[in-house]
Structure 1
Amino acid sequence: MPRDRERPASPTREGASVHFAVDGFAADRVEALARDHNATRFMVVHAALAVVLSRLSGSTDIAIGTALAGRGDPALDNLVGMLVNTVALRLRVDEDLSFAELVAAARRVDVDAFAHSEVPFETVVDAVAPQRTGSVPPLFQTALAFRNITPARVELPEITVSELENPFEPANFDLLLTVDDDGSRKPGGDMTMMFTYSTELFDEETVETFGRHLASVLRAGVTEPTRVVADLPLAEVVTAAPVVEPTTPAAYSGPSVVTSFASAVESDPDAPAVVIGENEVSYADLDARSNRLARWLAGAGVGAGSTVAVRSGDSGLDTDTLALWWGILKAGAALDIGRVAPDVIVLSGASRNGSRAPLILSVDDAADDVAQFSARPVTYADRARPQNGADPALVLPTGTGSVGVLTFDELSGIVSAELDRLAVDYESRLFATAAVSTVSQALRALVAGVAGAAVLVQDGAAESLTDVLLDQWVTHLFATPSDLSAVDAGEFEDLAVVVTDAGRGDSESCDGFADGTEIDVVPLTSTGIGLAMRSS
């Protein structure tokens, strides 16, 4: 294990504790995985802890200790005394196994060890490690315990009894993971844990990172049990790419983007929200889809403070992705288009390969579950956590290795300002080429949704950009200079605004494109979202 300090020759056993939790969705999945594989919660956590220790130590041979009650014989039930015995659980972490297979391996190891728990630990130590030093715990340095005993209460007439805290917190091992398992956790409730550690070896920040690693591996493993151990992610420790808060305009006091979207739906529910060739999706339909998705996300613990990235197929900003984006915002979470370690990643028609966030949710796999949720407007009572205007709403790439974060108030103010600047209203029809950035796609989706305008999506036919602009009566175009070099601005009577995006190029410049026309050309970097990207 990586340590902050060398092990002292004469340890004092002084310790401290770090508390952390696995979210309710993952905790429920721990229960389900244990049940499905005839295992216990202990065995699932044992497997996840072994993965973390293997990654940190570089070894695949992981020994973890645990204490057993030592009352296997019924004749000992009424015997007063300390009969606890310690056993070592030796698990080989094969990274080619799936997490479910590793849990099965942990189950075999644990059951076998428990069957021999009557053998005194000292006897095992003498047989296995007769030459040892007092500075290192024998056989294992990390222990695992499930705390399933509720605190005792003593009530006596006219006497107040209280428990005194021990000012000295001993660390008998380098690390001790304690999991609260007293039966009080309800479905959807967090699974609380605690690392007790030797302060002579570790700093608090180091052990907090261990806790995040364990929560990440456990969450990923129980969410996708068939995922190979090698792909289970440790928590990302961000050092080179800190999150920076952009300089923002004056405080915004108007309606949020979510409230404005609801107003657009109420104003004209039958208006086209998405147009794909000759097919249309109404605002009422898009609203219903996003409401169901918001409740599904909330049921998975996604809410205020969560950052969610959406990985879709190659079709770009289609109806499903648009519904997901609005569902994330309605759940009170932040839409992450900066691709920097989101808390949650939602898959829709997308490959499961590549880097992952700790919690992966698949809309495709959960389609039947999502359909069961109500399509009625989402209220505060439906969210996983209370949400307010200061909570993050959009995570943006800045191009400097960091990310920018816009709160709901900041994002709502920017979208409101761009609505006026770009002259978007309910009659507008907004199209974006495939070459523009996700930031342009987000700006288009947000201003259209707030105004009740139509987002146009190419239906896959091999039409030229000129044909699309003419046939679909495009009023607002999001495009790169390269896209614009292939069209003649003078041909388009409906086109009023062009937002230029460098895309993968180096410049937004398209000098001369709108000469002789009334088309307003707006560089993306001059918009409120563009300025937020550049603020770092």
Structure 2
Amino acid sequence: MEFDENLSNEPLSPEQERLWFLDALRPGRPDYNVGQATRYLGALDVSVLKEVVADLAERHGQLRTVVVSREGIPHPKLLDPSRSTLRVVDVPPGIDPAGLVAGPISAQMAEPFDLSTGPLAEFTLFRLAPDDHVLFLRAHHVVVDAWSLGIISRDLYAMYDARVKGDRSAPFAVDMAYPDLVRRRAEHELKAAGSRERTAWVSTLGGIPRGELPAEPSAPRLAFDRQVIGQAIPVSFSAERVAALRELASGHRASLFMAMLSVMDILVLRHGGREQFLLGTTLANRSSVGAPDVVGLFANTLPVLADCSGDPTFAELLVRVRDATIDLLDNQDAPFLGLLQSLGEERIPGRNPLFDIEFTLTHVDAATPLALPGVECIGVDVPRPRHGAKFDLAWELTERDGIVEGCVEFDSTLYHPESIRAFIERFDRLLDAVIDNPDRRVSELDMLSPAEMSDLLRQATGLALPSAPVLLHDLFAAQALRTPDAPAVIDGDAVLTYRELDERANALAHLLGEEGVSTETPVGICLPRSAAMVVAVLGVLKAGAAYVPLDTSYPEDRLRFILEDSGAHIAITDPTHDHLVLGHAMPIYVSRERRPIPPVRVTAPGNLAYTIYTSGSTGRPKGVEVEHRGIAAYLLGLQDRIPLHAGDRVLQLTPFGFDISVTEMFWPWLAGGATVLAPANAREDVGLVAETCLTHRVTAVHCVPSYAPVLADALRDQADEPGMRVMLCSAEALTDTVMQAVYAQLPGIELYNVYGATEASVDSTVWRHLPGHPGPVEVGTPLPNTSIYVLDAAMNPVPSNTVGEIYLGGANVARGYLARPGLTADKFIPNPHTTDGTRLYRTG
């Protein structure tokens, strides 16, 4: 092999150096193969075409350039012109052009190049018949770009035409060779890199996150060694739509590309939630003198800023995109690697630097590629190899004859084809929406089809149970009538039956009434976990009042704040803890008195059942006012989804100041089961908790995921058959590690992930994990009579697997925050997706 040593010390262009680096990083891949093919019908002079191919390589040195490494630094070298030949292949009978593309051409496109040996541009003529040929050019992107293919086509036509007319002169020389342009550009870059203009442009990109379209939940995005598998889905936009969008763009002194990029910005915004982000685009980068006529890699892929802040109209966004694109064009020769250094970008394994999504629109003249005079020329589509994908998503579009066509190439280890089709359909809808009304704000543009919108709203809403609103304590009273002698509360050795608990609560309710307690009167309960605490809860409810939990473990200043803020002038306590309320509320003590008849009170489902204070971790504690109808609807929905039975016993382990304690008390009462009170100091002693569960045959527990495997271990240490059959987890992420640890000790247990908020009466969704069914842990589906929405800033439902804010709705939504009307109005809002006047709680 002979090389032109005059080029051995020349540098590569920044774009070539980047591709060489990518090839060295992941060798043996055809990701950057470029192909072009044309079918010729008629009398083709093959001998002349062979001469022309040799002349092309003589004229354009990049067609016979390879890249070799010297001491770890890549350099271009020229192969001898004799290496650049036209290979003629006789195609077996029966293979038509479609079969040729599907067979030999696709096979060649899938073959990787060796950048150091070459040749990196190969011409093959497939002879289907004496008057039917297909000319195929396969090259590596390191030596040609899309613009170069146009130059090759032009020169091929001119040289062939001259030869068949008898002109045998040497091929005309180019004004400037590719290496000359690389040197000139390097000199220019030394001046531009530190210029005010370049510095200002780079500063606009600093700290801006990459735009994203959500990948599949299980996608291994950050795995450095993941196997990238490329696929592509075709897209097409009609001449009518393209013309309308072009007209819209021209009215704002923008191009078709700028308009389509603006639509892409909206698509990413509506899926990712970020108002500013970076996308990538590929520029021809042919502004240098002489560059338009030179074959070589000039195309440069750079980030472009998307700024959708402030919810602009499409017309306003288009102007922003126009200005950002102009800034980009002014800096289109900025070396990508140099830009990374300027921005201080750190490489993330498994990800492209700066951007994951590329959007490119190329204009192609109507002329047929690789055209020749005297024969009929028909363009042949050459499929790109899909061994890998250069980006997570690449929208590669071409405008020809007023039609925009192309494909969306994607990494199929990150995206399923149906997800990509959904993105394309939403892009289509947005495009039509902006053409229809460019003055609508981007948040208002229709992105989802009516069918998709209907499906999302259906998924957001739980089953509607046909039940009238009820009072929380009436749920207990109904069961007390059915099973009066069954155990309702187990507190160590003490057991209260439904009748005993009911009658003791009645007696307390009468006492409270004598002290002036009536509908919605706030009454504090300052008792440790005990049967007396449960009596107090029911007694307050039967009196028509709303109980306010005062956890005895709270600091005195927090208890004092809750009493003052809630307006509770009465607190049910005991002699051991009355010092916590004395001076702030009148203490009342729970007695063993029993009365069979409750006091007569006018309490409606819309009245308060309790006020629970949040932790105050984000500010002063807030009292959440929960009505009877909300907490009752939640409990009935939970029992519908996870039915308990008369023999079930639920552990009451959660501190009284948290609303899960309501679940632990009232849920088993819906089925005639019992609540088992853990010893007051048991939470820090998992062995004691396990002993309590085994002693009293607890069958259901609600805990945080981190506690679940610890409790499972303790249960199994003390018994071969612990008897636990239901476990609910919430408040932390439930991981596969936790679930497997629980199953290892309690193989038959039903394990649920539940999600909710105090402001929506404990929990709103439930999801059961089935052992042996791999997949991501889910928040679950709404409980009956509840709803959960994921909405964007404009209250639009977002597609599945898309960033948005969670809103909880349905019958279980709380009244609001006590004495905080402004905060209540901000967090509890009308539901825009129903007409029944219900509200949503904005979780934040």
**Same fold (TM > 0.5):** no
Q: Larger relative contact order (C-alpha < 8 A, sep ≥ 6)?
A: 1
- Which structure would you say has the larger Rg? 2
